[in-house]
């Protein structure tokens, strides 16, 4: 994703992920989201690999209530948070496009 802003660009506060575990953002014309799990914070392009629709139906709602997975609100596909791989649904085996992020001084920034 070479058209993203430069590394170190602040995306959100780490605490912004507390309510839903995820936050959708727009960087230029790209929709992305960051998601938090026990393994860390991860970033992905907000696009289902099945048909390219945004994953969230409601703002910042990316995580399933049942298994701590990212879910596509359109098709119900489920993706592992840690690597974006689809583990259930019409795009099984496909992966979400990653966006490199890291936590720095309690902020989520582009890596």
According to the model, what pLDDT value does residue 27 have? 87
Check pLDDT > 90 for residue 2.
no
Question: Do residues 100 and 111 make contact, with C-beta atoms less than 8 angstroms apart?
Answer: yes
According to the model, what pLDDT value does residue 57 have? 87
According to the model, what pLDDT value does residue 66 have? 77
Give the containing element (helix H, strand E) for 42. Answer: strand 40-45
- Could you tell me which of 74, 42, 43 has the C-alpha nearest to residue 56? 74
Check pLDDT > 60 for residue 94.
yes
Mean pLDDT, range 86-98, rounded to an integer:
96
Tens digit of pLDDT for each residue in 47-87?
999 999 999 989 999 999 877 899 999 989 999 999 999 99
According to the model, what pLDDT value does residue 5 have? 80
- What's the mean per-residue pLDDT of the chain? 92
Quote the CA–CA distance of 69 and 78 in Å, as a whole number. Answer: 6
Binned at pLDDT 50, 70 and 90, residue 100 comes out as very high
According to the model, what pLDDT value does residue 3 have? 67
SS3 content of the chain, % helix, strand, coil (to 5): 5, 40, 55
Phi/psi for 14 (5° steps) reads -55, -40
Q: Which strand ranges, in their side-by-side order, compose the sheet holding 22-27?
A: 22-27, 30-37, 40-45, 98-99
């Amino acid at each position: 994703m070479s058209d993203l802003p430069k590394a170190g660009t602040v995306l959100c506060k780490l605490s912004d992920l507390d309510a839903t575990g995820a936050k959708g953002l727009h960087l230029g014309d790209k929709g992305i989201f960051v998601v938090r799990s026990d393994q860390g914070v991860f970033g992905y392009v907000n696009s289902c690999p099945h048909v390219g629709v945004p994953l969230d139906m409601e703002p910042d709602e990316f995580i399933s209530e049942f298994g701590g997975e990212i879910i596509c609100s359109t098709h119900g596909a489920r993706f592992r948070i840690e690597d974006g791989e689809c583990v259930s649904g019409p795009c099984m085996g496909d992966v979400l496009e990653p966006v490199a992020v890291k936590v720095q001084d309690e902020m989520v920034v582009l890596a």
